[in-house]
Structure 1
Amino acid sequence: MESRYWPLYGLVLTTPRLELRLPDLELLTGLADAAAQGVHDEAAMPFSVPWSDAPPEERGRSVFQYTLGTIAEWRPERWVLSLAVVHQGEPVGVQGLNGTGFAVTREASTGSWLGLAHQGRGLGTEMRAAVLHLAFAGLGARFMTSSAMTDNPASHRVSEKLGYRPDGLETAGVQGRCRTLRRWRLSREDWEERRTVPVRVQGLESCHQLFGLP
């Protein structure tokens, strides 16, 4: 899908096993289905915004609405890029890249979810590696950040594997409870030293203005 009014639809990231792109309505429906089928154990809550604590249909609808909202609310000075992650032709999750004042700070953060049926195969590492390449090699980032609940070891393993360094703790109120998140920070130098996943980026040049870049 291409649009001269919204060239981000032509942005595609490709890794050995995955394709990441802004979802059209058909792909977005598939993502909603993947979310409805479950993204984590019901006894846990890995997100600071507990969107996944809902019945399947409502969970899928929230993914649908949130993704469309990121497009509607996009500004060059504050943006959220929510890319569908496609594996073997099937949408399996979302990899986000978020920037506020990116043109000045050259710093952005990531967030993601992966369908429960597709976890444990290294796809989480590969999809985050894809947007790190986009940020550093494509957009000229200096730093990338991430955070996860302290009781989410899978996310911390991904950060460590990709070269992030610990960056302190923060607290958040989630579902009426005080939760602790561990922050991570990745410099361009550490990314260059640790990157191992080959990533191909297509369609970025026409998107620079939307990211606030010349």
Structure 2
Amino acid sequence: MNDLPLTGLNDWPPTGLNDWPLAGLRLSCREVSLRPIREADLADLAAILPADFEQDPRLELFPGLSDEQNRRRLFFQGYWRALGTWSPSSWVLHLAVAYEGALVGVQTLEGESFPVLRTVDTASWLVPGARGRGLGVAMRTAVLGLAFDRLGAVAAVSSAVAGNAASLGVSRRIGYAENGVGRLVVPGGAVAELQNFRLTAQTWRAAGHGRAVAVEGLPPCLPWFGLPESSVGRG
């Protein structure tokens, strides 16, 4: 596992909170801590982006770049796109994940038409050296605690190709139910099966996973999620 500097990970309070309060959001679950990615993190995170990270196959690849260069370019552009297109109705929150003093991955929480649908989707990656320690479960649990217990989500969905045992295992361990199989075109034009999952707020709360999640800095962020500040939940 790479020991990378935690650029601003523990800075509190961060600057610019009046204009962009999301910068002050902090999540933790057991041994992992999460906070929104910053511009200064991009190079460090791109340097540890694993080769097996599944990019959206619909995204265009530049023919003059290697696979690694395209992965890194798309990672940068994904961060900028999420910030530039953020709206209370549809948002993508990319969080840097830290474990034992090092950046080890990214956890994403997405809400499309969230104030109406109250449904979130997730995506994540971890460096190989941090896998097999339960960190994937902890980081997914952290964002689900934010979604269900603080933002009022009623459901969370997830999906993974059949060969992605790690992602499938995280979903099943947390309590997602299988929700059908789709098909996905992967790089090179091949077609792969995609296992879909769904987790309801009722199942989440019955399992008690949210007790392990701590959230700081949320109240001023609520309008960014399409919610009034007075709607903040516990934590």
With normalisation by structure 1, the TM-score equals: 0.89
Measure how far apart 1:67 and its partner are.
Answer: 1.1
Measure how far apart 1:58 and its partner are.
Answer: 4.2
Q: Residue deviations 1:67-111, cap 9 Å, x none?
A: 122111111111100111111221111111111111111111111
Measure how far apart 1:28 and its partner are.
Answer: 2.5
Map 1:1-214 onto structure 2 (within 5 A): 1-3=14-16, 4-35=18-49, 38-40=50-52, 46-49=54-57, 54-175=66-187, 176-196=189-209, 198-214=212-228
1:95, 1:111 within 8 Å by CA — same for their partners in 2?
yes
Q: Residue deviations 1:162-208, cap 9 Å, x none?
A: 01001101111112011110100001111112244611100111011
2:55, 2:71 within 8 Å by CA — same for their partners in 1?
no
2:105, 2:127 within 8 Å by CA — same for their partners in 1?
yes
Paired residue secondary structure (1:91) = strand
The count of aligned residue pairs is: 208
CA distance in 2, matches of 1:181, 1:54: 26
Letter in 2 for 1:14: S
Note closer, same or farther for the CA distance 1:54–1:193 as it changes in structure 2 (3 Å cut): farther
Paired residue secondary structure (2:43) = helix
Q: Flag structure 2 segments of 5+ consecutive residues without an equivalent.
A: 1-13, 229-235
Paired residue secondary structure (2:139) = helix
CA distance in 2, matches of 1:66, 1:121: 27
- After superposition, the CA RMSD in angstroms is 2.1
Paired residue secondary structure (1:76) = coil
CA distance in 2, matches of 1:116, 1:24: 23
Paired residue secondary structure (1:85) = strand
- Of 94-103 and 186-195, deviating more is 186-195
Q: How many percent identity over aligned positions?
A: 38
1:146, 1:184 within 8 Å by CA — same for their partners in 2?
yes
Paired residue secondary structure (2:48) = helix
Q: Which has the larger radius of gyration?
A: 2
- Of 79-88 and 187-196, deviating more is 187-196
Measure how far apart 1:16 and its partner are.
Answer: 2.0
CA distance in 2, matches of 1:19, 1:54: 32
Note closer, same or farther for the CA distance 1:16–1:162 as it changes in structure 2 (3 Å cut): same
- Of 49-58 and 125-134, deviating more is 49-58
